[in-house]
Structure 1
Amino acid sequence: MKSISLFLTCLLLFSCNTTIKNSLMSKKIVIAHRGASGYLPEHTLESKAMAFAMNPNFIEQDLVLSKDDIPIVIHDIYLDDVTDVAIKFPERKRKDGRFYVIDFMFDELQTLKVTERFNPKTGKQFYPNRFPKGKGIFKLHSFEEELQLIQGLNKSTGKNIGIYPEIKEPEFHQKEGKNLTEIVLKTLSDYGYKSKKDNCILQCFDAKELERIRVELKSELFLVQLIEFPEETKQLKHFATYADGIGPWYKQILKKKENGIWKFTSLVSDAHKLGLKVHPYTFRADSLEEFSTFEEMMQTLLMDANVDGAFTDFPDLVVNFLKEK
């Protein structure tokens, strides 16, 4: 009887531990970086629709203002590395030779053809094995158009996939006399994204602006402080006064490899002690750099380093990996 009782106790404990582990795994989120950008040109509605079908937790939107103050979903303030603007409007470049979103009305932007990211000086495609440059018919779109797509798909499919917008280059916009942040926050509010209970995470690299969003503009959204430079990792305590999470470059989590095993910096554990979630960028199956396989990258960062989520160009691969775990 004792042996049977012991067996049942062990079985129950195993079951409980498995449940706890599965619960912890379910908290790790997948962020479709610029949509399903590993398969279709980044930040196109087609890329977002494909990402939605892959069941990530969130889909990302990088936001820049047009000349007529419409938030446009595009990764940079520049147009010439993802569109044919240099061909259609050659006279509209600035003194630095670049073409800026902010110099074009929304109607003008919609005439441009979007393509896979390329070097504007050489014309060479950045990721050679992705969707062929210059092929297909893809267009720029507004933030509102994307919100309508995602909310509409959530309605028609019964899913609840969230949004993960980024305020791009707020200081640049301010110097140009534009209030990007205020316009984005109003758009979010109009579409029902107002607090942490809403399925929205707002991100920004500019720490002063993200703090302003919390303190001055009194936003109650879930805020993530993006981190680019090593010295910024030392400011976690300050970030924790206004942000709910951090988005570091994944290499800031890695320390070195010893005998085939990765050692990590204290960034993740330090952030967790302060109650900050950690969502590193960017998981790319076709640009591994530090890793021999994408499986190794996912295992190392998501499991071994215990981050809380990942920005990825290949949301289906990360979703499937987490399901298997």
Structure 2
Amino acid sequence: MPQAAVSTLMLALVSALLLTACGGGTGVKYPTLDGARPLVIGHRGAAGYLPDHTLEGYRKAIELGADFIEPDLVATKDGALVARHEPNIIATTDVKDRPEFASRKTRRTVDDVEEEGWFVTDFTLAELKTLRAIQPFPDRDPAYNGKFQIPTFEEVLDLARSESARVGRSIGVYAETKHPTWHASLGLKLEDRLLDTLDRYGYTSRTSPVILQSFEVANLKYLRGKTQLRLVQLVDASDINADGSIQLAAPFDKPYDFAVAGDARTFASLLTPEGLKEISTYADGIGPWKPYLIPSRLLDDNRDGQPDDRNGDGQIDERDRVMMAPTDVVKDAHAAGLFVHPYTFRSEAKRLASDFKGDPAAEYRLFYNLGVDGVFSEFADHAKAARDN
């Protein structure tokens, strides 16, 4: 069957499944683990519109309909938890343009990768507060560069609480511990600081509006012994190959604590039925990179050994990929009692496979119909509209 026919058939089938799951329009019941509607998680805030990890970005995500906002947490020199995507802030702040911090530029090895830049762990909170966030994606609006501060974890929690009261619905905080093994090597154990902060807010139970996530395993097991908050095992990869198979190259091939311990298992190992069963002993859900759920591939219809430029724009990107059949990961995860929150959904046409014809709603519908329990989205308004409509 031609690839176009396969794609059309797949979309038709999942649409039919959604109608069945919704009782033919008589009442909405989603094909999620518990039948509830999927969560919209504001990935780094509203990163499609404003710089990552700012109070203004989180507030924007809430205005656009996010159920949770997602701060990535790193620690300052004096032990404060702040929201940044990575310890190295060269790409997300204006630090490189601040002459007073020129001498702080250095090289560090994070998870066996040597990087050059400025690192949060070399700044006190007071110093970090003098910096301003910038947009890390060069193709996104830079108009807000230099306008917003770097927030502390407490400020994010306060915002979620005040916005919940303002909008009349619960806004959760979905926090990630970034590079926990690396932080621990510097004497900055993230988990205890995180739990101490959450304890002060009274967030200790499964019903608290907080979810904690990590790409590592040992720290999640440690957290499980300390709290009943919901925990999520993140699952990464280095790339997706032309044929749709997952590429696993260090340091994105396995949880870094596995690498340190000499554990041969990879991220892909975690998504086998056996791996998912183990995850269910210490976590409540998984956060996989979305190609693990529905892969895509490049075509070579000309059989010249080169991927086809399907849209004729002279470059090969997501717009030249075609979606493949779903894997069993969602089904197997649900069978293990785990919810599934894939990442990252972005709305720009160049970040959408050819099947979606530049319409992000089509991608969301495909994954919602598959049964995911939530999505990490940088455009919460698009994720919400596709879910609710």
SS of match in other structure, 1:226:
strand
The structure-2 alpha-carbon separation of the partners of 1:110 and 1:270, relative to structure 1 and needing over 3 Å to count, comes to same
Partner of 1:231: 269
The structure-2 alpha-carbon separation of the partners of 1:193 and 1:15, relative to structure 1 and needing over 3 Å to count, comes to closer
Q: Cα RMSD over matched residues? A: 2.4
Partner of 1:6: none
Aligned residue among 352, 358, 375 for 1:310: 375
Partner of 1:266: 328
SS of match in other structure, 2:106:
coil
SS of match in other structure, 2:92:
coil
Kept in 2, the 8 Å contact 1:115–1:133? The answer is no
SS of match in other structure, 2:202:
coil
TM-score, reference length from structure 1:
0.86
Inter-partner Cα distance in structure 2 for 1:14 and 1:141: 41
Aligned residue among 73, 82, 93 for 2:105: 93
Kept in 1, the 8 Å contact 2:51–2:145? The answer is no
SS of match in other structure, 1:264:
coil
Matched, 1:298 2:360: no
1:156-180, Cα deviation, whole Å (9 max, x unpaired): 3322111101111110110001121
Partner of 2:287: 247
Aligned residue among 149, 153, 160 for 1:150: 160
Inter-partner Cα distance in structure 1 for 2:384 and 2:289: 20
User: Which residue type is aligned with residue 106 of structure 2?
Assistant: R
User: Which residue type is aligned with residue 288 of structure 2?
Assistant: P
SS of match in other structure, 2:149:
coil
Partner of 1:139: 149
Shift of 1:15: 9.6
Aligned residue among 22, 28, 33 for 1:21: 28
Aligned residue among 344, 369, 374 for 1:282: 344
User: Which residue type is aligned with residue 21 of structure 1?
Assistant: V
The structure-2 alpha-carbon separation of the partners of 1:155 and 1:91, relative to structure 1 and needing over 3 Å to count, comes to same
User: Which residue type is aligned with residue 102 of structure 2?
Assistant: P
Moved more, 311-320 or 95-104: 95-104
1:211-249, Cα deviation, whole Å (9 max, x unpaired): 11103xx21001110011333323211101111100000
Shift of 1:82: 0.8
Q: How does 1:1-325 map to 2 (within 5 A)?
A: 18-22=25-29, 26-88=36-98, 89-96=101-108, 97-117=116-136, 126-128=137-139, 130-132=140-142, 135-215=145-225, 218-228=226-236, 229-234=267-272, 235-255=275-295, 262-286=324-348, 287-291=350-354, 292=356, 293=358, 294-303=360-369, 305-324=370-389
Kept in 1, the 8 Å contact 2:271–2:329? The answer is yes
SS of match in other structure, 1:246:
strand
TM-score, reference length from structure 2:
0.72
Gaps of 5+ in 2: 1-19, 109-115, 237-266, 298-321
User: Which residue type is aligned with residue 278 of structure 1?
Assistant: V
Shift of 1:17: 5.8
Partner of 2:248: none
SS of match in other structure, 1:187:
helix
Shift of 1:186: 1.1
Kept in 1, the 8 Å contact 2:73–2:83? The answer is yes
Shift of 1:19: 4.9
SS of match in other structure, 2:174:
strand
Kept in 2, the 8 Å contact 1:55–1:161? The answer is no
Inter-partner Cα distance in structure 1 for 2:202 and 2:280: 25
